[in-house]
Structure 1
Amino acid sequence: MKIPFYKAAIVIISVCLINGPLKAQDARYPIIPYPTSLAAGSGTFVITAATRISADSKFSNEVVQFNKLMKQGLGIALQKASSTAGNIISFKYDAAITEDEGYKLTIDQQNVVIAARTPTGAFRAVETIRQLLPVNIEGNREKVKQLSLQSLTITDQPAYAWRGMHLDVSRHFFSINYLRKFIDVMALYKMNKFHLHLTDDQGWRVEIKKYPKLTSEGAWRTFNNQDSACMKLAKDNPDFAIDPKHIIHKNGKTLYGGFYTQQQLKDLVAYAAAKHIDIIPEIDMPGHMMAAINSYPFLTCNGENKFGELFSKPICPANESTYEFAQNVYDEIMAIFPSKYIHIGGDEVDRTDWAKSDAVKAFMAKEGIKDLPGLHSYFINRMEKYFNSKGRKLIGWDEIIEGGISPTAIIMYWRGWVPDAPVKAAKNGNTVIMTPGEPLYFDNQPDQYSVSKVYYFNPIPAKLNAQEAKAIIGAQANLWSERIPTEQRADYMYMPRMTALAERLWTSNTDRYDSYLKRLAIHYKRLDKLNVHYRLPDLPNMVTENVFTDKDTLSIKKPMEEMQLRYTTDGSLPLASSRILNNQLIITAPQTIKVAAFTPSGSRGDIYTLNYKKQPYAAAQNAAATVPGLTATYYKAFFKQTSLISKAKPDSTFTTNTIAVPSSVTAPSFAITYRGYINVPSTGVYTFYLNCDDGGVLKIADRMVVDNDGNHSAIEKNGQVALSKGLQPFSLDFIEGGGGFALGLKYSVNGSAPAPVPSTWFQH
């Protein structure tokens, strides 16, 4: 793997009005996620060295966390109040607050009152205050004599109980300090579940004292194909360079990896617990176990350890020694992680060796197991009983439901191409956490739509009724690290997408997107202070494959005023010293321009490669009588490239007037080709936008327009073509490798906003 209220003076404006035109308040209260209810007040509360804290004893940790902010801002911790009078910040117990993470925050000119029933609720209020304080409180920068908070009243609670982030430290290893930083950012945005993927084929990252070779051998590897892919990408982007901190030289070999000691992880658990974040460990079984099997080959059915057609060989569920090993490992994991949740993985299991094993056949006959999915479920169900005996709950990826699963297991849904999986799980009585690859796999390359897709993601499947929907307890984003070798690259991939998920899961309100974007723009300065190397906002309306008949103009509106746009025309990458693009650039000859945005802190945004070529208008075709729609041909097979489709035998042909995956298609891998004409309404230079998961190639008038080929997540690419009015030959090849089912085509002309290509344009 690897998916309010406002108050101005004494006038209160209703929620229905504020949900839309929140603009005047965005800068004043730039809170993400936005509170359930916020009423703006008048005046400010000023914090100085003389300010005192009054707190119920159950909130002692939250006072400590609050005072860490004060030390960063004022240079001192606030002292305990000796009376109820004066300039006081109070932490008060409130039994009337029903939600565990709920709180009420009241700020006026004399007092700050944090009311909560639980320490968790009080801490969430502290993080709200943190976002209301100046960004200079972050990172122990310069100290000030006073801090100010705008007056307000907030009543707040989360919409979903599970608001998670996942990090894969197996494919590429990250330092324990980075995990702490990751937790800090999660806490800032009120995320509460940290899913730590500790083991996989590529590395075992947690010390297991009973099996020392898991880390002495399994934590290290010679460079593999994922590493070499990153090294290749590092030529254009240093964020892909393999981190030298995790390279050692041993016995004449260069080894890459690392692991965490049990004490390091226990300290990390305590660090996260102080911020009310639960760390859920994942030890992936029965598949994804190559790093363990290398050192302990008795775990397999035949002693082999290699990759099958798609996945690595799994451990053997017919051997008692397998269960002894698993239980011993999980015993030590449970001693490190007090979370009531343990993730067993359970996904992507190559069962072919099980089918060949006489021992497995005998075991299945003895246990009355009918098929291999049933054997898979036997392993999961047996481990769940063991977890339950230790007071823990099992979480698994959605594959574990295939052979039958107990209703007490918790399911993480990730396979977007199996939309009925969460529905089946919910109807079976299982608790479900939504993590679909699109849009919640944050290792998927982000584009200009990534943030909005996360913001508008609905965790509740449409097929569930209101009662069944209660099984969905929340969602999380997953950050698989096959192509994330550095901490900076990890920052870039999850931020700012995580802020959109945080708001979606806390407030469950999609009416504030414009407000969210304005608040997010303010948060970038805070993230700078926290040394989070976030992805800069996209440059708007960028076309990568441009054509012109006479001349063209490059003009870019900066999404952030403090940005500088710099460009090159010699093929080199833009640097902070490259030419500044301040005004329009007139294009009169074919050329390639590379442009990127830079912030004052030196961060560079994505590099846009803009190709320009001169092209005459394609003459319209004189076709015989045509009929509406395109001829579509369906191929039920797996393709790595669209060029391979022509060598395959088609399964069916149909006529369609839309560019989309038909609802009738259920195969995990397939291809569709579209042929016919597009009836161009007027002569001009047209821009086409092809969004697909996986690959697609669009040709019009026998000219390449968009090349979005290959197996990848949903990505939109664009290109232009000069067309005369009338019928123009149209060709679109699309491949789906499994997991996305995304296909869409839009167009624009003469600077118009992109819109779906009208169905009336298609002829054949």
Structure 2
Amino acid sequence: MKNKIVALLIAIVVSTGFKVIAQQVDSKYNIIPYPTSLVSGQGRFVITPATNIVYPNGGKFINEANRLNEFFANGFGKPLKLSTTSKDHAIQLKYDAGISADEGYRLVITTHQITIAARTPAGMFMAIQTIRQLLPVNVEYSNIKTIKNLTLPVVIINDEPAYEWRGMHLDVSRHFLSITYLRKFINVMALYKMNKLHLHLTDDQGWRIEIKKYPKLTEEGAWRTFNNQDSACMKKAVDNPDFNIDEQHVIHKNGKTLYGGFYTQQQMKALVAYAAERHIDIIPEIDMPGHMMAAINAYPFLTCNGENKWGTLFTKPICPCNESTFEFAENVFTEIMNIFPSKYIHIGGDEVDRSDWAKSEACKELMKREGIKDLPALQSYFINRMEKFFNSKGRKLIGWDEIIEGGISNTAIVMYWRGWVPDAPLKAARNGNKVIMTPGSPLYFDNQPDQNSIYNVYHFNPVPAGLAPTEAKLIIGAQANIWTENIPSENRADYMFMPRMTALAELLWTNNVNDYNSYVNRLTDQFKRLDVLNVHYRLPDLPGMITQNVFTELDTLSIVKPMQGMQIRYTTDGTLPGKNSEELTGKLIINKSERIRLAAFTSAGARGDVYDLNYQQQSLAAPVEVNNTQPGLKCSYYKAFFKETKFISKANADSTFISDVIAVPQTVKAPSFAITYSGYIDVPADGVYSFYLTCDDGGVLKIADRETVNNDGLHSAIEKNGQVALKKGLQKFKLDFIEGGGGYTLKLKYSKDGSAPADLPSSWFRN
């Protein structure tokens, strides 16, 4: 009877094109991204070595049939038979002109048949990735012992993506990544239905793609002696081997140790084909007119004055006022277009030091002749001229959001990254430009992750507030960027993008932010597949970790493990915890001031983040006696750049104001600044209070004249925490915050006795 009901339901769904927009996620299906619509049935379809894969006559979907068959070949030791003739108890790949979405598909699994319907090969491939996740993880590799059968659950899935651009970006210039790694990266992207790989191929630190007309770009520009980014990584490698410089990219030449590498055109064409088989478009970026030091070193004629050096903030750019520059650029991009068939070409266009252009006689003449009013418009002249060249070759130009500053055509595509310029995507959309959202927070995956990173990605809204519905349609998707200044190894790259990418994948495909708990549960199951795929992902955060702990008499350390089979190991002598260190199996009683270092380990020996837990015995701080206080905190505002909060005391405030919230005021417009919050908090009860300070860039919190949280320095938005023992009453409060430019993030929460972190009530603040 049940099978008849399921069969009837399937018939209804197939005949009506039924699709559920919002649904309850079924915990049985650990699929990421979760399908648009999933209707669960009873029973399973059994796949054996005798099962056929049937695809349409004419060869449509043959590539997709082969991709699916790779998993069965791994499981059974040999591929299934491919056929164009309908079979009973088979896997049928069918063309369906009624499926409107380019990447949409319908998957119907009964106990007797699997039917996969799509209009395009891309849609068929997306369906296969869903099947891939429904199969056991051991189909990801060739088995020594073959499997007798595989099963798939009875289910009906109607699915399509919310956004057309679901991208990942890799910077291979600062630190180089091998072709082998790029293939692995593409394979993992495909698993989660991501479809755009943006390769940042050139920058000041290295030119990574062979250009035959200009051989010195790779002969010289692909290699460098170790720089300050390398040395910073080497220091971190003392505690974490993932920061070791990858030896496969180090050579010794003419008595020098050189770091680098490049891709030949043949290698890259093969990679493009590999990605295309998985319906991933590789978008090349040749960054200009700025970030061109590696090229200018090889060909000095590219500048206005022959100089190649760092300016105030950025390196000197190529000169947009000489025809030889355009000849070079067009020759380079012509070869790039012969390698990459993508209709999109990224020109960069960001962070340009234009000061030398202002001094150039050639630029002065050009600006006068062309009616160019200022230097941003001169940069736009370069970008617009290159776009016309791209268009003449049938390609579309993408640039970072700086390209809108001097005016651009509405046919260019804008990639928004500068979170501190919130109106940039609005201006672009209102100009008619398509926009790809890549803001640094939360989509710069080179930013150090913390316990909030995945949540922040999952809950990111790609559509900026303030856009009309017609303008919002120009937001075509989003992309996570991985800049590799501090990512010198493939293991470190894995750690930085996984599992954050899975949150982005679900956001951009399903666009459903109401099932975060379900997503987290499904993610835990995905780790098994990532283990098989040799992805060195970041292990889940250990819950409730406080860096600076205080206690009055004693404290207890106990940890709820976020994954089965995880072991927590620790040391008390300052050494790094290893897989042979003492295991924390229950509760650890703390009755003296000490430092505990701990980390989680998987059964395979992978180590998670190392937590440095400092315990300090404190007495409850006595309250202060103050008369005639007023509501709010006194704030001092400094319009200057500070590397650390300690330098604020040497400066004079530009203005003061009173605030009853801890947040960067909307009125603050300076690119770099500092704010100090001072006064008192009215503590409601005796106890040990925990504080959680999130800063981009840095901040230091002191309560009762005790340093409670130190989150100082220039860095991305990250949370740090600490505790302080307080008596009821007024307690001194001081928070120093610095913003180096770009983040504008400041949050402060508190908790007591294990409660969930919450905002400090404004009623606590007094001055």
Tell me the distance in 2 between the aligned counterparts of 1:127 and 1:481.
29
Paired residues of 1:711 and 1:737 also in contact (CA < 8 A)? yes
SS of equivalent to 2:233 = helix
Q: CA deviation at 1:719?
A: 0.5
Residue equivalent to 1:465 = 468
Task: Assess, with a 3 A threshold, how the Cα gap between structure 1 residues 18 and 96 changes in structure 2: closer, same or farther.
Answer: closer
1:699 matches 2:698: no
Give the one of 734, 739, 744 matched to 2:737.
734
1:506 matches 2:504: no
Tell me the distance in 2 between the aligned counterparts of 1:60 and 1:135.
24
Q: Which amino acid aligns with 1:758?
A: P
Q: Deviations over 1:303-332 (max 9, x none)?
A: 111111111100001111000000000000
Tell me the distance in 2 between the aligned counterparts of 1:62 and 1:475.
26
Q: CA deviation at 1:83?
A: 4.9
Tell me the distance in 1 between the aligned counterparts of 2:9 and 2:735.
58
Tell me the distance in 2 between the aligned counterparts of 1:509 and 1:444.
25
SS of equivalent to 2:53 = strand
Residue equivalent to 1:748 = 751
Give the one of 573, 595, 599 matched to 1:596.
599
Give the one of 462, 472, 485 matched to 2:488.
485
Paired residues of 2:21 and 2:37 also in contact (CA < 8 A)? no
Residue equivalent to 1:546 = 549
Give the one of 635, 639, 642 matched to 1:632.
635
Give the one of 233, 258, 262 matched to 2:261.
258
Q: CA deviation at 1:645?
A: 1.2
Matches within 5 A, 1:191-270: 191-270=194-273
Matches within 5 A, 1:285-300: 285-300=288-303
Q: CA deviation at 1:84?
A: 2.9
Residue equivalent to 1:37 = 37
Paired residues of 1:642 and 1:696 also in contact (CA < 8 A)? yes
Residue equivalent to 2:68 = 66
Residue equivalent to 1:616 = 619
Tell me the distance in 2 between the aligned counterparts of 1:595 and 1:703.
25
Matches within 5 A, 1:102-113: 102-113=104-115
1:712 matches 2:690: no
Q: CA deviation at 1:669?
A: 1.1
Q: Which amino acid aligns with 2:410?
A: P
Q: Structure 2: state its 5+ residue gaps.
A: none
Aligned residues: 754
Matches within 5 A, 1:87-486: 87-142=89-144, 143-486=146-489
Tell me the distance in 2 between the aligned counterparts of 1:10 and 1:458.
39
Residue equivalent to 1:75 = 77
Paired residues of 1:551 and 1:586 also in contact (CA < 8 A)? yes
Paired residues of 1:340 and 1:391 also in contact (CA < 8 A)? yes
Paired residues of 1:19 and 1:512 also in contact (CA < 8 A)? no
Tell me the distance in 1 between the aligned counterparts of 2:686 and 2:517.
36
SS of equivalent to 1:429 = coil
SS of equivalent to 1:249 = strand
Q: CA deviation at 1:750?
A: 1.2
Residue equivalent to 1:680 = 683
Paired residues of 2:283 and 2:344 also in contact (CA < 8 A)? yes
Paired residues of 2:55 and 2:84 also in contact (CA < 8 A)? no
Tell me the distance in 1 between the aligned counterparts of 2:292 and 2:616.
51
Paired residues of 1:636 and 1:651 also in contact (CA < 8 A)? yes
Tell me the distance in 2 between the aligned counterparts of 1:179 and 1:84.
38
Paired residues of 1:69 and 1:130 also in contact (CA < 8 A)? yes
Residue equivalent to 1:46 = 46
Q: Which amino acid aligns with 1:39?
A: V
Tell me the distance in 1 between the aligned counterparts of 2:634 and 2:23.
46
TM-score normalised by L of structure 1: 0.97
Q: CA deviation at 1:465?
A: 1.0
Tell me the distance in 2 between the aligned counterparts of 1:85 and 1:405.
56
Tell me the distance in 1 between the aligned counterparts of 2:212 and 2:84.
50
Q: CA deviation at 1:139?
A: 2.3
Tell me the distance in 2 between the aligned counterparts of 1:139 and 1:168.
28
Q: CA deviation at 1:15?
A: 9.7
Task: Assess, with a 3 A threshold, how the Cα gap between structure 1 residues 82 and 714 changes in structure 2: closer, same or farther.
Answer: closer
Tell me the distance in 2 between the aligned counterparts of 1:199 and 1:69.
36
Paired residues of 2:20 and 2:36 also in contact (CA < 8 A)? no
Q: CA deviation at 1:485?
A: 0.4
Tell me the distance in 2 between the aligned counterparts of 1:17 and 1:554.
45
Q: Which amino acid aligns with 2:126?
A: R
Task: Assess, with a 3 A threshold, how the Cα gap between structure 1 residues 82 and 309 changes in structure 2: closer, same or farther.
Answer: closer
Q: CA deviation at 1:81?
A: 3.9
Q: Which amino acid aligns with 2:113?
A: N
Paired residues of 2:86 and 2:92 also in contact (CA < 8 A)? no
Tell me the distance in 2 between the aligned counterparts of 1:352 and 1:82.
65
1:585 matches 2:588: yes
Tell me the distance in 1 between the aligned counterparts of 2:84 and 2:355.
71
Q: Deviations over 1:462-494 (max 9, x none)?
A: 110111101100000000000000000000000
Q: Deviations over 1:606-647 (max 9, x none)?
A: 000000011111110001210100000111111111111122
Paired residues of 1:9 and 1:42 also in contact (CA < 8 A)? no
SS of equivalent to 1:610 = strand
TM-score normalised by L of structure 2: 0.97
User: Percent of counterpart pairs with the same letter?
Assistant: 69
Matches within 5 A, 1:630-669: 630-669=633-672
Q: Which amino acid aligns with 2:417?
A: W
Residue equivalent to 1:55 = 55
Tell me the distance in 1 between the aligned counterparts of 2:84 and 2:405.
62
Q: CA deviation at 1:665?
A: 1.2
Paired residues of 2:568 and 2:599 also in contact (CA < 8 A)? yes
Residue equivalent to 1:3 = none
After the TM superposition, list the runs of 4 or more consecutive aligned residues in structure 1 that deviate by more than 6 angstroms. 7-18
Task: Assess, with a 3 A threshold, how the Cα gap between structure 1 residues 388 and 11 changes in structure 2: closer, same or farther.
Answer: closer
Tell me the distance in 2 between the aligned counterparts of 1:566 and 1:752.
26
SS of equivalent to 1:426 = helix
Q: CA deviation at 1:722?
A: 0.6
SS of equivalent to 1:593 = strand
Paired residues of 1:81 and 1:88 also in contact (CA < 8 A)? no
SS of equivalent to 1:165 = strand
Paired residues of 1:19 and 1:511 also in contact (CA < 8 A)? no
RMSD (Å), alpha carbons: 1.5
Tell me the distance in 1 between the aligned counterparts of 2:612 and 2:9.
52
